[in-house]
Amino acid sequence: MRTYKEVLEDGIQILNAAAIEEARLDAWLLLEYAADITRAWYYAHMDDMLATETEARYLALCAERAQHIPLQHLTGRAYFMGYEFYVDERVLVPRQDTEVLVEEALSHLKDCTAPKVLDMCTGSGCILLSILKEREDAEGTGADISEDALAVAKENRRRLGLEKRAVFVQSDTFSADYFQKNSGNTSSEYDMLISNPPYIRTQDIQELMEEVRLHDPMLALDGKEDGLYFYEKITAHAGDYLKPGGWLMYEIGCDQGQEVAEILKKNRFTDIEIKKDLAGLDRVVIGKLQTQEEQNV
Ligand code: GLN
C-alpha cells in the first residue's frame, strides 16, 4: 500500500506525461472523487495509506483522463453558478464563461416579477435551471433538438428540485408544436429568450482541443459555415415569443460581437449591448424587443 501523497504524485505524472493542461489540478480532483475526500482532509492525512482498490480505481481514472476524456465525463459532474450538474457525453460540459451570460440575465430580470424564460439549445439545462434556482418566482422552458441532451436536462431538473417550474421540449429551434400559437401552450410569451447556441465555424472545429472536439457533442458546437446560423435563425423568430420590451440574450464567440449585434438590429431589437467575459473578451450580446409604440414610430 502507498500513501495518498505518493499516489497523487503518480496521478500528476500520468497527466503531465499526456500533456493535460491542468495536470496537477485534474489529478487532485480525480483523487478527491475516487477516494471521496476533501482538500482539508487530505492535508491532515496525506501520509496515511490508501486502500489498494481505491488506488487502482484512481489510477484507472487518471489513465482515462490521459486519453483526453474530459474530467467532468469521468466524474459525471460539473459545477455551474455554484450548482452541481450531472453531465456526460450527451451534452456540452457547462463552461465558466457562460456564467457571465447567466449573471447578465439575472441582472436584466431584476425588475421583472415572476419572469418567464425560454432557454433555446438548453443542453444540460444549466442556464435555465440556474436562473430558476436564483429566482424562486421564475418559470421557464428549455428547448433542444437532441432527445439525449433533454434526458440529461431532465435529470438535472430532478436533482435540483425544479420539476414544477421547468418544462423541457424537443425542438429544432421553434419547430415543435409547443411553439405554435394555437398549440394550447400558454407559456408562449416570455420575458427573456436566452441561448448559448452552437457557434463554432465548421472549419474551426478541427482546431479545438481534443477534450472538446472529440467529447462534446458535435451538434452542440457546430454553428455551420460562418458560425452565425443559430443567431440568424433564433433572432428571426424571437419577436414572436418575447413580450414587447423582453430581453434577448446570447453567448457568442469572442469575434462575433459586431455581427450578432447587427443581426439583432435588423430584427427590431434596441438597447443592444456587448459584454465581456472575465478574460476581457466579448462574450455576451443583449438586446431588447421594441415595444409596440416604438415599432409604430
Ligand atoms: N445551454 C447549454 C450550455 O450553455 C448547452 C449549449 C450548447 O449545447 N451549445 O452549456
CA distance 31 to 11: 8
**pLDDT (mean) for 18-27:** 96
Does 86 have pLDDT greater than 70? yes
**Rounded (10°) CA dihedral 273, 196, 131, 78:** -130
CA distance 93 to 126: 9
pLDDT, residue 297, reads: 59
pLDDT, residue 188, reads: 52
pLDDT, residue 15, reads: 98
pLDDT, residue 182, reads: 65
**pLDDT (mean) for 257-273:** 96
Does 186 have pLDDT greater than 70? no
> Model confidence over 94-125: pLDDT tens digits?
999 999 999 999 999 999 999 999 999 999 99
The per-residue pLDDT of the chain, averaged, comes to 94
**Sequence-ordered strand ranges (E) for 123-215:** 139-144, 166-170, 190-195
> Model confidence over 158-168: pLDDT tens digits?
999 999 999 99
With contact defined as beta carbons under 8 Å apart, do 34 and 82 qualify? no
| 122 Cα nearest atom in ligand 1 | 1
**Eight-state DSSP code of residue 201:** -
Ligand 1 environment, Cβ below 6 A: 92, 94, 98, 121-124, 126-127, 196-198, 220
Taking the centre of ligand 1 as the mean of its atom positions, its distance from the CA of residue 124, in whole angstroms, is 7
With contact defined as beta carbons under 8 Å apart, do 191 and 109 qualify? yes
**pLDDT (mean) for 222-231:** 93
> What is the percentage of the chain residues whose pLDDT exceeds 70?
96
The β-bridge relationship of strands 139-144 and 116-120 is parallel
| 91 Cα nearest atom in ligand 1 | 8
pLDDT, residue 158, reads: 98
> Does an H or E element contain 14, and which?
helix 4-17
For atom 2 of ligand 1, the residue with the nearest CA is 123
For residues 51-82, one letter each, b for 16 or more C-beta atoms within 10 angstroms of the residue's C-beta and e for the rest, the string is eeebbeebbebbeebbebbbbbbbbeebebbe
Residue in the block written with cell 425542438? 171
φ, ψ at 5 (rounded to 5°): -65, -45
> Model confidence over 23-66: pLDDT tens digits?
999 999 999 999 999 999 999 999 999 999 999 999 999 999 99
pLDDT, residue 35, reads: 97
pLDDT, residue 225, reads: 86
Taking the centre of ligand 1 as the mean of its atom positions, its distance from the CA of residue 48, in whole angstroms, is 41
Give CA angle at 208 (206, 214), nearest 5°: 75
Q: Which of 122, 148, 233, 251 best tests ligand 1's pocket when mutated (most atoms within 8 Å of CB)?
A: 122
DSSP-assigned letters across all residues of 154-200: HHHHHHTT-TTTEEEEE-STT-SGGGSTTSS-S---EEEEEE----B
> Model confidence over 127-179: pLDDT tens digits?
999 999 999 999 999 999 999 999 999 999 999 999 999 999 999 999 999 99
Does 292 have pLDDT greater than 90? no
